[in-house]
Structure 1
């Protein structure tokens, strides 16, 4: 009897059926490019169920995920399909003996299917790959958040033994890594199905949203440090002698300068004051997420963590129950926080990156983006998580804090280098604004709205820096 039986209560949506059909038509290879929140996990398991039926079992199924908590989530989903998978992470002593035993049973015809859920890192290790290669039947790889596998240190997970290959991601292209993106495309056979955010909203898979950008100014001393870091980054880029074909991660000095500049933008002092004012005007602050910078407040690294400062200021000035959801909280505490947030017992969660991939918070009604990288993957993932459907939510509201130079300074009094640096900063912020605004319920006005109580519309900033077409 074949494994992987879909439960009666799971019925594939039409777009999920189309995705599975596209993958099967491509001979069981390809990447599903689907918006966050559209059910990539269920789609993949339904595809695997189809394979086990057609093969009458006889399948070694390996599901690879980027983080350990996602191993547990996939195991829960597999339980609905009648599967008790091998969880291949942490110490090998906890899972290697069972894997070897089940592969032996599989090879001898005693077991028709062997299912493993592991991390990208573990699958990249020689020991895991060597053990899996002993399987004699068909092998299938489901790669969740497949873009992670394009990194140099995880590409070993892309084993030739997997004749069936299914990649999943809302953002399959790797940022600033054409070689890694091409490696994934070559291995999986490219993207075979696209299902974007607008389609997901139209079909009801995701909820509609309002997008409200707010201008936050870098003050004079913050802008001075921004200029210094920008000049340093320019010098480091200029020193590269590789014809432009290099990975930023290989240059530690460049990587450090880029991180410092991103953190400076993320922790701009004006952001917390604006955040407090927004919460004070909010009649119902429940089910709110606040995404903070991973840096510290102040212009040096000795300041308070931005997430801590944000949490404390909201508690003190708004009299709210606010809890942190970060890497410092263990799995049990995270589950408690999410449960309390869902129930409305904790109205506000502050986070850094832990809510970016793999954590479901469908009850979220309002999100405040204090900090975002210029990497589209991060803010696209965040938006998809915020837009997940929930019975108590008609739509979502996204407040985006747009960082610009002090607008009291006029471009005509700046040097060419200063003007170019400020214009580059604004242009990068506008790329995110455009992405968010184009699918918003209040588009086309979203991208020109400023803070309602101030006279600093984004349109004026665009005009000042000749970016009206950006």
Structure 2
């Protein structure tokens, strides 16, 4: 009588497993766990959910003395990568990363899974290490997937394939793995090679890869969870499928149950769909353009599902922090998108893999969020040119794409095109505006500020213009610049269409700088900050650059530094700068502190809080910068009018610098230039709660320059 072999050799293992033919979990993983004594696994991402899922089905295995070694890639953000590349202590960075993952919102079932992991660690049954690419002083993501089972008689089963130890990888995705058995001719060499590859990883002997021990602080935290969460784990197929904490990598895009679609959002989407999925949504800042666009994308995704076709969704945003915000929004609709910015080594493999799956019918949607720069880059343009599936393009702050470079990069193969902007018209660039309309279509829906305030989508506000006179030195420089500008105008050049890089453009910028950096603004700001010293949620918008000076003289100080000295050192207010050089991680932390209402009173910015930043708690805004660009001042007003709990109105203080009455200079030139300042003031005033008071403040200035018609 032939004896049935025990261990791995006794299992009816196939040479490969594919989701359309077998259940990878029940047909391969669980039988292997039932007889193996050790399991070595190197996979992709480490997240709290994937680690919890890893615990499923392991109780029996570990109770028999089974041991597990796991190598996973930490979930690196761009700031994490920069910290490592700059030489920060790697162990400290990794500890911060894992702490962040464990701090993520998780369900009770996930906590139970993490508790199980903690018990495995405490009992010496599980050891974890973290791996990332380190090559030529650059850091990347480790994305390999190999596994090795061993049994008590020394037999070995190695496997490699597409699945991660995640819910999507083991349950929801369409996956395949190749299996190699050490006792089968032709398989043995491959099986042993994969085992050696893992051993090289475990001992940190693989070139270009760095493998580090799991952070002690995170290990202790998991062990603590093991003591706190002792509930038995349900079977894998019931465990996390319904958990709201899970965002499946291949789920369909859908409107979440928690989202209440506002009436105007519904109208906007219907209007866009009525134009065959093309057009511009011109909606006031703060009215929810992002969610409106995602509602439209969900409708298109549903349409494609009905036709049994995938959808490729491309969202283009001007800056990295906006990409991060969009990623959060897309995840809220059930899909994890790919971030496309900076190093292509990180996103190209993911994009190519998902597009390939979409072509094979294995993925209903591929979602990507790219910065303008990465979108227009050669590598991503090459990817776009090869897409044959239905493509939907959403352009956030779409006016930026009207430049010559960006508009030439917009994909002609996009079936659906949606542009978002409160101000789609490009300032002094009719050609760029026309190009955007030609590509995306006409304005499909418009929601102006007045209507948005009336319907309660934005809050009401008061507007306080502060008229500040230039001092003697500023007045003299202002007059000199005005005289030089008058000469160019007399020669036939136009102020309203001057090239910014021309001599006239330079003079106009210098003169605007005199107004923006006027010293009197700081004295006025001091009084206003003192009057609101106990208030929270205050923003200060500073002028760019430094205070202008005559040729050959040193320029004055940076206004932001002056304001920080005033607010922090002199008035002892909790204040912090928010500028282009502020790292993304620090920006997130500052916005969190600012929104807490008990930590940071004042944020001091230069432009960085203009486009897209979601900071609804802001209640008071001080506009020191003398911006005549309507897009810029409309965006800044929009930052302050977003709705927030406990906020019924906002306050805007606008500092307008003017030369003293009677200053000798070309009246027409001076009137023309100050008209822009008054246009902004009039725009702000007309929808404010204190319109009559504002008119009284501005009336002397309008009378002086014969502008009462404004």
TM-score, normalised with respect to structure 1: 0.92
Q: Please, which runs of 5 or more residues in structure 1 have no aligned partner?
A: 450-457
RMSD: 2.1
How far apart are residue 140 of structure 1 and its match? 0.8
Aligned mate of 1:421, from 665, 669, 682: 669
Q: Which structure is larger by alpha-carbon Rg, 1 or 2?
A: 2
Distance 1:374 1:301, change over 3 A: farther
Q: What CA distance in whole angstroms lies between the structure 1 residues aligned with 2:336 and 2:590?
A: 27
Q: What CA distance in whole angstroms lies between the structure 2 residues aligned with 1:301 and 1:256?
A: 17
Matches within 5 A, 1:52-451: 52-56=301-305, 57-233=309-485, 235=487, 248-249=499-500, 251-282=501-532, 284-297=534-547, 299=549, 302-344=555-597, 345-407=599-661, 409=662, 414-415=664-665, 417=666, 419-449=667-697
How far apart are residue 289 of structure 1 and its match? 0.7
**Secondary structure at the residue paired with 1:141?**
strand
**Secondary structure at the residue paired with 2:405?**
coil
Q: What CA distance in whole angstroms lies between the structure 2 residues aligned with 1:350 and 1:215?
A: 21
Q: Deviations for 1:395-417, whole angstroms, at most 9, x for unmatched residues?
A: 1010011121113x26xxx35x2
Q: What CA distance in whole angstroms lies between the structure 2 residues aligned with 1:256 and 1:297?
A: 14
Instruction: State yes or no: 1:48 paired with 2:297.
Output: yes
How far apart are residue 234 of structure 1 and its match? 5.0
User: Which residue pairs with 1:453 in the alignment?
Assistant: none
**Secondary structure at the residue paired with 1:215?**
strand
Moved more, 326-335 or 295-304: 295-304
**Secondary structure at the residue paired with 1:154?**
helix
**Secondary structure at the residue paired with 1:170?**
coil
User: Which residue pairs with 1:35 in the alignment?
Assistant: 284
Question: Are the counterparts in 1 of residues 616 and 640 from structure 2 also a CA contact under 8 Å?
Answer: yes
**Secondary structure at the residue paired with 2:691?**
coil
Q: Deviations for 1:29-79, whole angstroms, at most 9, x for unmatched residues?
A: 000000000000000000000001011052111000011111111001111
Of structures 1 and 2, the one with the larger relative CO (CA 8 A, separation 6+) is 1
Question: Are the counterparts in 2 of residues 176 and 247 from structure 1 also a CA contact under 8 Å?
Answer: no
How far apart are residue 124 of structure 1 and its match? 1.6
Question: Are the counterparts in 1 of residues 393 and 414 from structure 2 also a CA contact under 8 Å?
Answer: yes
Question: Are the counterparts in 2 of residues 287 and 365 from structure 1 also a CA contact under 8 Å?
Answer: yes
TM-score, normalised with respect to structure 2: 0.61
How far apart are residue 102 of structure 1 and its match? 1.4
How far apart are residue 301 of structure 1 and its match? 5.5
How far apart are residue 292 of structure 1 and its match? 0.6
Question: Are the counterparts in 2 of residues 292 and 371 from structure 1 also a CA contact under 8 Å?
Answer: yes
**Secondary structure at the residue paired with 1:63?**
strand
Q: What CA distance in whole angstroms lies between the structure 1 residues aligned with 2:430 and 2:390?
A: 31
Moved more, 191-200 or 212-221: 212-221
